[in-house]
Structure 1
Amino acid sequence: MAAKNKTAETNQSVLDFINSFVDKEEKKQDCFQLIELMRAWSGYEPKMWGPSIIGFGSYHYKYATGHEGDAPLLGFSPRKAAFSLYVIAQGNDNNEFLDQLGNYKMGKACIYFKKLNQLNLAVLENLCKSTIQYLKELEGRSGCQGMG
């Protein structure tokens, strides 16, 4: 039996999640601004993925090992210490965007930042749109190697 993905789309309310999980007003406002930006950039409505990721759109991935599933094209989570931004920042010529993004730290699968006003939003838009294009191109090929 194949392992079930922990991060699957749910029916949980994005608004309820933000209001119950995010305790600082400034961070809530950053969440709402990010939602509006990602909605505009992606053309997708926000959905909860797992217990704490707000995602936009989805794509299907399949690894050489046979593991496959679905993941959001773009997403973020307002974690306690910092926001986690789920975009493809490596492997698709985004280094020029990262050099101009602002105050962030790079994780294995995400970008961490504390406040939205510390990021260059024009650069973030390019990074998000590049991520969507990259993932849709990969999904169109057999054997998509996604973020999931």
Structure 2
Amino acid sequence: MKKTGGSVAAFIADVAPAKRQRDAHALVDMMREISGREPELWGTIVGFGSCHYRYPTGNEGDMPVLAFAPRKAASTIYLDSIEAHEKALAELGPHTSGVGCLYIKDLEQVDAGVLRDILTRTLAFTEGGGNEYARITVID
């Protein structure tokens, strides 16, 4: 994955529906505050900072330290893993999830404090270098 250098503001201005656009602005503010980094476009993903990951298999690449994507159906928030946050997710409010993705249809219906805690722990995992399944080096 690579940074594309586009305008985050212009990208978010084109997001539909309006609820997803509203949530994108809120997620930018929250992730900027948590990460201390400015948002950048990685294709259709809004990322904060960058890191390099390497799996024991030799697969490697770059990705944002924290990231989300405002998709039509829901906002996709990328986490270190869903398992790592099971207890917090039970308290979050309406959402669905995949292996490492959290899907939220309406940010106003979830507990912002719980989401902030999940994102803070995801950032700590990444900045801490990952684990035996993925070694992570923060670039910026």
TM-score (structure 2 length as normaliser): 0.87
Unaligned runs of 5+ in 1: 1-6
Q: Is the 8 A contact 1:59 1:139 kept in 2?
A: no
Q: CA deviation at 1:136?
A: 1.4
SS in 1 for 2:135: coil
Q: Tell me, yes or no, if structure 1 residue 16 matches structure 2 residue 17.
A: no
TM-score norm. by structure 1 comes to: 0.83
Asked whether the equivalents of residues 96 and 104 of structure 2 are also in contact (C-alpha less than 8 Å), the reply is yes
Contact 1:100–1:120 (CA under 8 A) maintained in structure 2 = yes
Q: Shift of the alpha carbon at 1:65?
A: 1.8
1:124 aligns with 2:124: no
Identity over aligned pairs, percent:
36
* Alpha carbons of structure 1 residues 99 and 89: separation in structure 2 relative to 1, 3 Å: farther
How many residues end up aligned between the 2 structures? 137
Displacement over 4 Å in runs of 4+: 139-143
Matches within 5 A, 1:1-148: 7-20=1-14, 22-50=15-43, 52-92=44-84, 94-139=85-130, 144=135
How far the C-alpha of 1:23 sits from its partner, in A, is: 2.6
CA distance in 2, matches of 1:56, 1:138: 16
Following the alignment from structure 2 to structure 1, what is the Cα–Cα distance between the partners of residues 36 and 118?
A: 15
Summarize deviations over 1:46-101 as a string: whole Å, max 9, x none: 01112x10011222110112111111121111111111111124354x22211111
Taking the aligned partners of 1:142 and 1:65, their CA distance within structure 2 comes to 9
CA distance in 2, matches of 1:47, 1:113: 21
Aligned residues of 1:44 and 1:57 also touching (Cα < 8 A): yes
Q: Which runs of 5+ in 2 are unaligned?
A: none
Q: C-alpha root-mean-square deviation of aligned residues, in Å?
A: 2.2
Rounded to whole Å, the distance in 2 between the matches of 1:106 and 1:142 is 20
Q: State the Cα distance separating 1:26 from its structure 2 match.
A: 2.7
**Residue pair 1:104, 1:113 contacting (<8 A) in 2 also:** yes
